Amino acid sequence: MMRIFLFLATNVAIMVVISIVFSLLGLSGTLDAQGINIDLNALLVMSAIIGMTGSVISLAMSKWSAKQAMGVQLIEQPRNQTEQWLLTIVAKQAQQAGIGMPEVGIFQTPEANAFATGMNRNSALVAVSTGLLQRMSNDEVEAVIGHEITHVANGDMVTMALMQGVVNTFVYFFASIIGHVVDRVILQNERGHGMGYFLAQMVAQIALGFLASLLVMWFSRYREFKADAGGAKLAGRGKMISALHALQREYEPQDLPGQLSAFGINGRGGLSKLFMSHPPLEERIAALQNIR
């Protein structure tokens, strides 16, 4: 909860500073002179509500959504040695990382993957695929679990959700201003919101959202290096490097759906490195090898 409070407090401070900067630059006066009468402070607050609401709801529902999307079967009473071993490893690493015992589950897919999610670092979910258990050694699986436990301990789910909310806030804010400029200045619409406003705002949201995703993906890649280092600390650097090498040997691993891809272990990424949620595996291996 403290992480959420501090992050929200920081965002409020950013909004206050931006509001002051707008006043000092006379942006409101400039827009008024063009016939664009916008209460920038009110728009900023409305944008924050719109931008943050979806992210907060998504975060609150993350465990439930993950269980439904991936068909995760929780291990409540171990049915075999593998399930008992998983619970033991997760409990051991959770204690080392200083977090509460997460729920532990398995989802059916032949690809080697795993993810962690949850709104609270003391009430998270760690799930591994059947493919991971079949294709990796116990040492490698232990390292992968350490990677996911580190995501939980670092509060990455909360940070990523709130960061996405902030990005959404400013995308909506500037897209709305662009919509007003097009509607009032270019199309000379003097009454209400015309079709030009809605079309321009929609196009601007798509374009700005595309650019904003670069920032989100950059942070996601940075976070992966931290999770790898944490996995190496919990399970051993050799085991973490071996697990990443095992992922390299996978033939076209399947991505996790939606936002879960940012919290998985393999993460292939998109069209280029700029749009990848995970750094290339060779870079992650090199980073671990360079740890002194």
> Any known ligand binding at 224?
yes
Q: Is 12 exposed, middle or buried (0-12, 13-18, 19+ CB in 10 A)?
A: exposed
Nearest-Å Rg of the Cα atoms of the chain is 22
Task: In whole angstroms, give the CA distance from residue 256 to residue 141.
Answer: 18
> Any known ligand binding at 190?
no
> Any known ligand binding at 180?
no
C-alpha pair distances (Å), 236 with each of 38, 154, 189, 241, 274 = 56, 18, 65, 9, 30
Task: In whole angstroms, give the CA distance from residue 43 to residue 49.
Answer: 10
Q: Is 148 a catalytic residue?
A: yes
Q: Where are the alpha helices (DSSP H) in 154-274?
A: 156-181, 195-235, 237-248
Count of CA atoms in the C-beta half-sphere (13 A) of 167: 20
* Active-site position among 111, 140, 148, 250: 148
Any idea what DSSP says for residue 249? T
Annotated binding residues for Zn(2+), written as ranges, equal 147, 151, 224
Q: Which residues are catalytic?
A: 148
